Structure 1
Amino acid sequence: MLILTLAGCGGRGNTDLLEARLRQQEDSIFALQRDLKDSHQALQSAREQSAAMQRQLAKSANGGLLPEQSKTLFRVTGVKVNSLLTGGVDLDSKPGDELWTTVITPHDVDGETVKLPADLELELVDLNQPEAQRRVGIWKFDSQEVRSHWYSGFAGSGFRFELPWQSTPASEELTLLVRMKSQDGRTFKTTSPLKVARLENSSQIQTVSRDVPVSRKQLTPAEPARISFEEQPAMVTEESENPFQEIDAESTPSPAETESDSPFREIKE
C-alpha cells in the first residue's frame, strides 16, 4: 500500500512539472509572437518613411534625381581614387606629361562601386612649394558633366577625367584633393598622390584659366596616351551558304584508279 501511495505521489509530481514546463513554453511563444508583430510593424513604418524621404529628396533635387536613384544615394559612404588609372599623360615623344588623368569612384560601406553622379571638385597642389604657390589647378564639374565621364574597364570603374594643366607643375610629385558633394548635401573628401613627368619647357603646353571649368565637350575620357592600340585591318572571307563542298565530276577518281590504293585486296573466285 505504501509503495502504491509513493508511486501515485511521484506520478502527480511529474505531471505538475510537465504542466509547468508547458506553461513556460506557451508564455515564450506568446512573447515571440508579440515581438514578431512589433518587428513587422516597425519594418512597415521604416519602409513608408524611406519612400517618403525618397520622394522628398527627388522633389528637392528639382527633377534631377528620380526616386529610384535616391536608393543609390543612400548607399554612398565615401569616395576613392583609383591609383592605377591616375597619373600623367604623355602625348608626344618629348619629355614631360602634357595632361593628367584620374578615375574617381564613389563607394558604399563595403567598398563596392556606386554609380552615382554628383558635383565634383578636383584640385592639384604641390606641397613642395610655398603655400601661396602650391595650387597647380582646380577643376569643377556639376553632376550632369560627371555623369558623362563614367568609365568601366579591366583596371576599375568610376568617373574618369583627362585634363590639361592650368599651370605648369614644378615638381613631379603632386597631391590630388577630391571633394564630392551629393545631391542630399553630404560632402565626401579624399586625397591621393599623383606622380607626373615634369615638362622641361613650360611653353610645351597651353595652360587654361583656373577659374574656367573644363567642359565635357572639350575633353573625352580615354585610355592614357602612353597606351596605344593599333587597329589591324579586318580580314573578311566569303563563305558559301552551302556547308558541303562541291566536287567536280572530272576530278573524282574512278574505282579502277583507286583500286591500287585500297588496303584491302579483292579475292576473285
Structure 2
Amino acid sequence: MNRNLFLLTLAVACGCASRSMNTDLLQARIREQAIQLAETQREMAETQSELKQAKIEAARLKSELGQTDVRRDASARMLAELHRVHIYPLASGGLNKDNAPGDDAVVVQFAPLNRNNQPLQLAGEVQITLRDPKLAEPKQVIGQWSFSADECRPKWTRGLSSSGFQFTLPIERPVQHDSLLVQIRFQPTEDQRFDATQVVKVNAPAGMATVQAARAGRQAVQVVDDVDEFVPPAGFPQETAEEEEFAEPEFSDSDKEPSKTGRAILHSSSWTEDSIPRFR
C-alpha cells in the first residue's frame, strides 16, 4: 500500500515538473518571437522611411530636370537674341570699404543686351580688367579677375534703373587718378565672345592728383630763411664787406653809367643843385 502511494506521488510530481518545463519553454519561445517581431517592425519602419526619402529625391530630381530643360531652352533663346554687352556707367565706379582715404574697391555692373537693348539674364565666363590709362603701359593694369559661368549666374541683380550682373572687386594697388578704364570680356559659349569698355570714376587718395601735378610742373625754387641780411639773386655781382668799406668808386666821364638792364643809374658825383635829392 505504501509502495503504491509512493509511486502515485512520484508520478504526480513528475507530471507537475513536466508541465512546468513545458510552460517555461513556451514562454521562452513567446519572448523570442516578440523580439523577432519588434526587429521586423523596426526594419519595416526604416524601409518605409527610406522609401519616402527616395520618392522625395525622385520628385526633386524630376523638378530639377524640368527646370534644367526650361533653363536650357531659355538659354538657347537668349543666345539667339544676344547682340552686345553693355557696362552701366551710373551703376559702376569706385567704392570705399575700409574708410581710409581713397577707394579700395570698384563696382562693375554689366548686362548682355538684345537688339532692343533689353537685358538678358544669360550667364557666361567673365574676365574683368581694370586699367589706369594715365600710367605707363607696363603699369596700366591695376586689377584683373576671371569668373566661370556658375560663379557669374548668382551675381544677377535687379535695380530701379538697371538690371545685370554686378561684381564688387577689391583694388590691391592704391589708385592714382580719378578716371579708370574697365574692360569686360564676356563668353557665353566657346564660340561666342563679346567685349565692352567703359570709363568709371573713382576717388583717389586726397591730394594725390594735386601732388603729382605739382611734381610734374614744379621748378626748383631757392628757399631763403627769414633773416635780416640781404641775399642777392643769382647772377648779381657780390662784394665782400672789406671791399665795400675800402674800395673807392670809379666813375667815367659820363654823368650816367649804363646798367646791364639798359636803365641809367645816377651817382652822387653828378648831382647838381637842382637834382640833389632832398628829404621832406
> TM-score, normalising length from structure 2?
0.47
> TM-score, normalising length from structure 1?
0.49
Say which structure is richer in helix: 2
| Largest Rg, 1 or 2 | 2
